[in-house]
Structure 1
Amino acid sequence: MEYSAKQRQSKVVAFLYIGLLVLLGTSMIGTIILALDNRALRLEQPRHLVPMLLDKPFSISSTGADSNYLQMLGMSFILLRLNVSPETIEGQHKMLLSYVAEEARPGLAAVLFDEARKIQRNEITSAFFQNKVAIDPSRGLVDIRGTIRYFSGERPLEPSSKHYQLQFTFDNGVASLKHFLEVTDAKD
């Protein structure tokens, strides 16, 4: 009799230990899942901003932005590149390059350098007027069409239609310009 009671007591203690280990394992798994979920919520939480002098609120997170923010970024970068004079072009292009992704910087720097030399050599001023903007927030793509007008001193030169595509990437909420391409549209 004594032997079977001791055996039963050992079984009960063993089941209690197993039950406690199962509860501990479940608790640890739950804690890990909650920690990962909390991290994702914290990093991807959009922040709503309304900057000075702009009338549209926008949202950004660590992984992307809404269409209002992308439109403002796209127009700002277009204006930095295209609304230039011989005196301002170097500073504006330098500022633009500070937002370009590291891997895309050498290629765009060469294009901007050529543009700056032409503008300075010919003493031309340019102004860009947008006609149409299309935005794809899921890809960080801004498609801008418009007319660029050139001036040589006070004399206007022939305006031309331009089409640009800008693509942005986001790393911890910081936007970088991945591509700034002039698109050649097919003639009808």
Structure 2
Amino acid sequence: MSQNSADASYLQQMALSFIALRLNVSSETADASHQALLQYIRPGAQNQMKVILAEEAKRIKNDNVNSAFFQTSVRVWPQYGRVEIRGVLKTRIGDSKPFTDIKHYILILKRENGVTRLDNFGETDDEKNNTAIILGGLFFPAA
């Protein structure tokens, strides 16, 4: 790792941490987890992301949501700062039985001047072969 680059292991650990902060939440932990995640969002997107995460936290608390993500595979391209994570997202609303979704996330991390930032947090639909880069709820279809 250097001031402006990172190895695969570091990128994997950071990406898994970002996934956990965004997806492993409950009505009790959403605010603190989202606040921790905000520290790593690239500066130009922090205000917008703050609003989106506050809306997510409000829904999580109002509906008494608990969710947990279980990774099944991780691939890293250090030269691009790209990490792809596949897994299962289990979500429970109130006292209901949890429902399960298969998920595939793409995270882009940038390291500049010794600081790691989350540049994009995306989800792709493998069945539809449809990729969107998502940061703060904005969807940018991949070219």
State the TM bucket, normalised to the shorter chain. 0.7 to 0.9
Distance 1:78 1:128 in 2: 8
| 1:168 match | 109
Distance 1:110 1:126 in 2: 20
Deviates more, 1:143-152 or 1:178-187: 178-187
Match of 1:159 among 97, 100, 110: 100
Distance 2:113 2:97 in 1: 44
TM-score (norm: length of structure 2):
0.82
Task: Give the letter for the 1:142 counterpart.
Answer: V
| 1:69 match | 10
Q: Quick check: which one's helix share is greater?
A: 1
Q: Quick check: which one's strand share is greater?
A: 2
Distance 2:45 2:125 in 1: 20
Match of 2:27 among 86, 90, 103: 86
TM-score (norm: length of structure 1):
0.63
| 1:126 match | 67
Task: Give the letter for the 2:118 counterpart.
Answer: L
Q: Which has the higher contact order (CA 8 A, sep 6+)?
A: 2
Distance 1:114 1:144 in 2: 25
| 1:103 match | 44
Q: Structure 1 residue 173: deviation in Å? A: 1.8
- Flag structure 1 segments of 5+ consecutive residues without an equivalent: 1-59
Aligned residues, how many? 129
* 8 Å contact kept, 2:21–2:37: yes
Amino-acid identity (%): 40
Aligned-pair RMSD on alpha carbons? 1.7
Task: Give the letter for the 2:20 counterpart.
Answer: L
User: In structure 2, do the counterparts of structure 1 residues 114 and 164 end up closer, same or farther at CA, with 3 Å as the change threshold?
Assistant: farther
- Flag structure 2 segments of 5+ consecutive residues without an equivalent: 130-143
